[in-house]
Amino acid sequence: MFLPLLLAAGIDGGAALQHAARLSALGPHPWGSAVGRGAAQYVASQFQEAGLRDVHLEEFETDGVRGVNVVGVRPGAGRGIVLVGAHHDTAPDAPGAYDDGGGVGVMIEVARAMVKDGGRGRTALFVSFDGEEAWSRGGLCAGSSAFLERLGPRARDVVAAVIVEMSGWRGGTPTLLPMAYHDPMQPGRSVIAPAWLMRAAAGGARAGFAGTAVGDRYVGWLHQPAVRAARVQFYGDDVAFLQRGVPAILASDSSFSAFYPWYHTPQDTADKLDAGALARMGSTVLGAVHALETVSPEAPESQWFAAFGQVIERPGLTAAGVVSLLPLLWVARSAGRVWLGLRLLQAAAFGALLWRQPVVALWCFGLSHLLAPFSGRRGVRVAALSPLFALLALVFAAHAKGMVNGTWLASWEIGLGVFVALVALTPLAAEAAPGRNGKAGKNKKAGRGGRRRGLPER
């Protein structure tokens, strides 16, 4: 659907690399610095050259530090706004070629391509934020927060936001990164990109670049339950939008299994970037934005799972969880009342988790339920819980790197998960005390039956 449009527009990776190189040549330009203002002025000049309208600087002040956002508009015929954002400030000691000169370069070239396309869909608003790195100093994305506060009620006109982060690493893969953040309206709960946004953005992104991943290039399926279970400290400007009820998604070519090694260091220079990688990121972002120009928003659903090009929502996940229990209960029905009762408790505990956390519950225990008919051996029972063990390993590894600072799961939800796992590792009664050839239960039943019929015992 979008491919001919993308081929006609194209993204100039060399031009995006040039933008990143010019911004990094300024040296470190953190939020509030004079050099940072120079970076903003450069972005404004490129917005104007790309053909955006109403290009202007928006001053703001947070915690006594002054910053400046850059805004440009590509008018459209449709109702609502699609926002494309990146940030031009850097960490205090980094020139920021990748984080985030590459992201700004991609945004500028996407703007250029969309101006050439014309405005057949929604209006596209391009914003280069200052103060994204403020979260590392105790703030939280100062520029995007200030921008949304200035919009006020007009923020409801923003149908969706695509935030372009670290881009252009030749070792990376364009990835849509759905992240779960603290929900200020519901303490203890999280907000994440809704299902309809992921469906549209992922479909459009893959039309632009077929290799676009969701969550991670190698562990994308694992990433999705992990960010719903653990509080990952990987903030981008998408957090400001999600916490204010505006659907948003982060796009980057750095992820957990392939993370840019010079992040926030003086070595983050333009020679680390690749024009081809920036072109791929640009095609991914352009495809996602084109899809969001025309999509009809739906009721927000935070519980979804992306696999095989599809986005499965809560009803499908719940149905899959219920079906997964059938093999377990079928095997348990003949194990005796005590063991059947234990398995029913296991199913009830899983059901409670499925109701609250369907993605996490199904990921951790769905395979164990399906393999219940083959769980006579300990090795099978352990292997059936391998998705749970993989999730724990990823969370602990992220915690060791300082990327995780807690869990989204309540204590009682964790307790239920531990109970389900322990019962899943326990054999059924008939498996716990097998006789010769593993048929003790059948031999005893046959023996009792033989005595009742007066048959001679062997």
Predicted local distance difference test score (pLDDT) of residue 135: 66
List the CATH code of the domain at 3-302: 3.40.630.10
**pLDDT grade for 249, boundaries at 50, 70 and 90:** very high
Alpha-helical runs (H) found in 357-428: 358-370, 378-384, 386-400, 411-424
Contact 208, 113 (CB under 8 A): no
- Residue 437 clears pLDDT 50, i.e. is over it: no
DSSP code string of 267-329: T--GGGB-HHHHHHHHHHHHHHHHHHHHPPP------EEEETTEEEEHHHHHHHHHHHHHHHH
Predicted local distance difference test score (pLDDT) of residue 193: 97
**b/e map 240-256, b = 16+ CB within 10 Å:** bbbbbebbbbbbbbbbb
- Residue 445 clears pLDDT 80, i.e. is over it: no
| Mean pLDDT for the stretch of residues 354-382 | 95
Strands 158-164 and 248-252: parallel
What angle is formed at CA 85 by the lines to CA 399 and CA 54, rounded to 5 degrees? 160
- Residue 438 clears pLDDT 80, i.e. is over it: no
Contact 70, 40 (CB under 8 A): yes
- Residue 126 clears pLDDT 60, i.e. is over it: yes
* Residues 88-109 pLDDT 10s: 999 999 999 999 899 999 999 9
Sign of CA dihedral 206, 212, 216, 222: positive
Contact 118, 328 (CB under 8 A): no
Average pLDDT, the chain: 90
Among the listed residues 176, 342, 153, 120, the one whose alpha carbon sits nearest the alpha carbon of residue 244:
153
Using the 8-state DSSP alphabet, how is residue 455 labeled?
A: P
* Residues 373-384 pLDDT 10s: 998 899 999 999
Predicted local distance difference test score (pLDDT) of residue 410: 94
- Residue 187 clears pLDDT 60, i.e. is over it: yes
Rounded to whole angstroms, the Cα distance separating 74 from 105 reads 17
Q: Considering only the C-alpha atoms of the chain, give the largest distance between any 2 of them, rounded to a whole number of Å.
A: 101
Predicted local distance difference test score (pLDDT) of residue 203: 97
| Mean pLDDT for the stretch of residues 260-287 | 96
* Burial classification of residue 184, based on how many CB atoms lie within 10 Å of its CB (0-12 exposed, 13-18 middle, 19 or more buried): exposed
**b/e map 84-119, b = 16+ CB within 10 Å:** bbbbbbbbeebbbbbbbbbbbbbbbbbbbbbbebeb
Residue ranges matching CATH 3.40.630.10 in the chain: 3-302
Out of 11-15, 155-159, 361-365, 374-378, pick the least confident: 374-378
Predicted local distance difference test score (pLDDT) of residue 233: 78
Contact 364, 395 (CB under 8 A): no
| Mean pLDDT for the stretch of residues 145-168 | 96
* Residues 37-77 pLDDT 10s: 999 999 999 999 999 999 999 999 998 999 999 999 999 99
pTM of model > 0.85: yes
Distances (CA, A) of 75 to 50, 54, 78, 276: 13, 10, 9, 29
Strands 304-307 and 310-313: antiparallel
Contact 265, 98 (CB under 8 A): no
Coil, helix or strand for 264? Answer: coil
**b/e map 344-360, b = 16+ CB within 10 Å:** eebbebbbebbeebbbb
Q: Which residue has the higher pLDDT, 401 or 13?
A: 13
